[in-house]
Amino acid sequence: MRSTVVLTEVRNGLRRNLGLTVAVILTVLVAGVLGGLSFLLHEQVNVMKSYWYDKVEISVYLCGTDSVAPSCLGPNGTAQAVTDAQRRQIKADLLSLPQVKEVYYESKADAYKHFEEQFKGSPIAASAPPDSLPESFRVKLKDPKTFAAVTGAFTGRSGVEEVQDERQLLDKLFSALNGIQRGGLIIAALMVVSALLLIANTIRVAAFTRRRETGIMRLVGASNLSIQLPFLLESVVAAMLGALLAGGLLAALKAFLIDGILAPSFQFTPFFGWDSLWKAGALVLIASMLIAASASMVTLRRYLRI
């Protein structure tokens, strides 16, 4: 069949089934937005991971006179501050670990100064006595994933109150974000199922309304392809329109919400870039066209027997 004939058929078919076509477009739109959002959230977590993991440190807090950790208690059961010898030895041992890149020392006074800076103007700053904050070693690792070597070696050592890995705090945030992303994916998958059923139903209705045409086509010897192609193209075109709209919405979200509002107000947080958005758009477009095509082929096999 000539391509102009096919195109005319496709256009007529879309128009004749306008209500269902719009339903397919909207369903694909919602599925596409949800799927795209969960992809973008995934990208966002990755961006934040690579940004923050480089910056996170391990803090090795040293014992003070008010510590309660067992490793800080002396033989008489009272807390003992870390000695100079212990402090030197801990630093030397930290530096000897192959995973460690850098170690620097934060005294009680430094800690208080940072604390004051962070909570300037807040009553908390005034409430804390200057020597209530512990001294610590801040450790930067060559590869943040190897933190277990440091925590394992120093937790419970005498003179060390606690080893804290900032990465663990971040991981809690990231796993929460991943949970949201998975939830989005599940809803998107449900929407895909409804899109599949809707497309199947649309084709069934279209095949029924056009049974005269297809019956004649069969009798005069039109090939299976030319009988089925208009139906297939119709659903693929509808899905494509839905996907393009979804891509447009995602782009608007990136431009107005992220670039326009969030990025200026959270300057220390990196956000996913336009490359991720293009990827999300392409993914949604390809997936929805494939889904529409496969739903159509399965349905056509059943309802347009040759």
Partner 1 sequence: MIRFDNVTKLYPSQVRPAVDEVTLEIDKGEFVFLVGASGSGKSTLLRLMLREERPTGGSVHVLGKDLNRLSAWKVPALRRQMGTVFQDFRLLPNKSVFENVAFALEVIGKPRHTIAQVVPEVLELVGLAGKEGRRPDELSGGEQQRVAIARAFANRPLLLIADEPTGNLDPATSVGIMRLLDRINRTGTTVVMATHDAAIVDQMRKRVIELEGGHLVRDQSRGVYGYSR
**Phi, psi angle pair for 163, to nearest 5°:** -110, 120
Which residue lies nearer to partner 1 by CB, 227 or 241?
A: 227
Let me know how many helices (H) and strands (E) the chain has, helices first: 11, 4
Whole-number minimum distance, CB 227 to partner 1, in Å? 8
Task: Give the SS3 label for residue 138.
Answer: strand
Whole-number minimum distance, CB 235 to partner 1, in Å? 20
| 215 lies in the site for partner 1, by CB under 8 A | yes
Whole-number minimum distance, CB 214 to partner 1, in Å? 10
Contact set for partner 1, span 130-189 (CB under 8 A): none
Whole-number minimum distance, CB 297 to partner 1, in Å? 15
| 79 lies in the site for partner 1, by CB under 8 A | no
- In whole angstroms, how far apart are CA 77 and each of 74, 94, 159, 248? 5, 27, 14, 67
| 233 lies in the site for partner 1, by CB under 8 A | no
**Phi, psi angle pair for 85, to nearest 5°:** -65, -45
Contact set for partner 1, span 195-214 (CB under 8 A): 212-213
Whole-number minimum distance, CB 31 to partner 1, in Å? 34
| 18 lies in the site for partner 1, by CB under 8 A | no
Query: What is the Cα–Cα distance from 158 to 219, expressed in whole angstroms?
Result: 92
Q: Sign of the C-alpha dihedral, residues 174, 178, 181, 187?
A: negative
Residue 112 and residue 130 in contact, taking contact as beta carbons nearer than 8 Å: yes
Which residue lies nearer to partner 1 by CB, 186 or 306?
A: 306
| 224 lies in the site for partner 1, by CB under 8 A | yes
* Residue located via tokens 């339903």: 23
| 7 lies in the site for partner 1, by CB under 8 A | no
> Rule CB under 8 A: which residues touch partner 1?
1-2, 5, 212-213, 215-224, 226-227, 306
